[in-house]
Amino acid sequence: MMLTMWGGFGGMLYGLDSWYFILVLPTILLAMFAQSRVKSTFAKYSGVRAQSGYTGLTAARRILDQNGLRQVNIEGIRGQLTDHFDPRANVLRLSESTYGDNSIAAIGVAAHEAGHAVQHAVGYIPNKIRGALVPVAQIGSSVGPYMAIFGIFLGLPFLTEIGIVLFAGAFLFYLITLPVEFNASSRAMRLLEDQGILGSEELRGARKVLNAAAMTYVASALTAFASLLRLVLLSRGRNGRR
């Protein structure tokens, strides 16, 4: 799961200070490039059919069954690249671009999401930590920056510190997301190979799709860090002028 950060991380809401241009803007541009790259890479390998005949659905089902997860249901969901595993409902949801498609891109994405289901089943520690941080991240990313900025503008250091601490919780969520996503991708590649779902050349294409997707998580973590650092520097600058 990804939390949106565009609305609260910079721009006219906070004023275009120099730290925004130095720290935040470059990471936002990187995130935009990463999003564009994952879409273009997915589109490229969506045109490459898997010789095995598997679809995203059948590949995910086989991976789940082979890992003793027959109780995990698979459902279709509208949209493109909206695939995700819902641990609360114990359901793996595959998008229209993945569910019935037999491209190596669709199979790679489906296997990645199945990897998240496996993580949940085996109690993968970083995944547990990320799950616990979800409410903290939701509050921190939506409330923290506003509190910090208002505290700076109103000259209320205590309010600023609370906002920064809340936003730091959101940053931790983005940070712990990295090993969770990387591990899900590595599990996916290993399972696709072990189950003979994709051949060696096809695996290279699927890996490119997953690597491109991984860059979006890296960019998100960098944007969160840059935004957090910006708040800290703005706070210190204001305190230094008092």
pLDDT tens string 13-61: 445 688 999 999 999 999 999 999 999 999 999 999 999 999 999 999 9
Q: Considering only the C-alpha atoms of the chain, give the largest distance between any 2 of them, rounded to a whole number of Å.
A: 68
- The percent of residues in the chain predicted with pLDDT above 90, rounded, is 87
pLDDT tier for residue 242 given thresholds of 50, 70 and 90:
low
The model's pTM is: 0.89
Find the Cα–Cα–Cα–Cα dihedral 7, 8, 10, 11, rounded to 10°. 40
Residue-wise pLDDT tens digits, 181-217: 999 999 999 999 999 999 999 999 999 999 999 999 9
pLDDT tier for residue 237 given thresholds of 50, 70 and 90:
confident
Answer yes or no: is pLDDT of 239 > 70. Answer: no
Answer yes or no: is pLDDT of 94 > 50. Answer: yes
How high is the pLDDT of residue 236? 87
Average pLDDT over residues 60-65: 97
Average pLDDT over residues 142-149: 92
* Between residues 38 and 10, the one the model is more confident about: 38
Q: Which of 75, 78, 79, 99 is nearest to 89 (CA)?
A: 75
Would you name the residues annotated as active-site residues?
113
How many Å apart are CA 174 and CA 58, to the nearest integer? 31
How many Å apart are CA 87 and CA 208, to the nearest integer? 27
Helices 25-46 and 200-240: crossing angle, nearest 10°?
Answer: 170
Report in angstroms the alpha-carbon separations of 3 from 63, 133, 153, 219. Answer: 27, 12, 26, 13
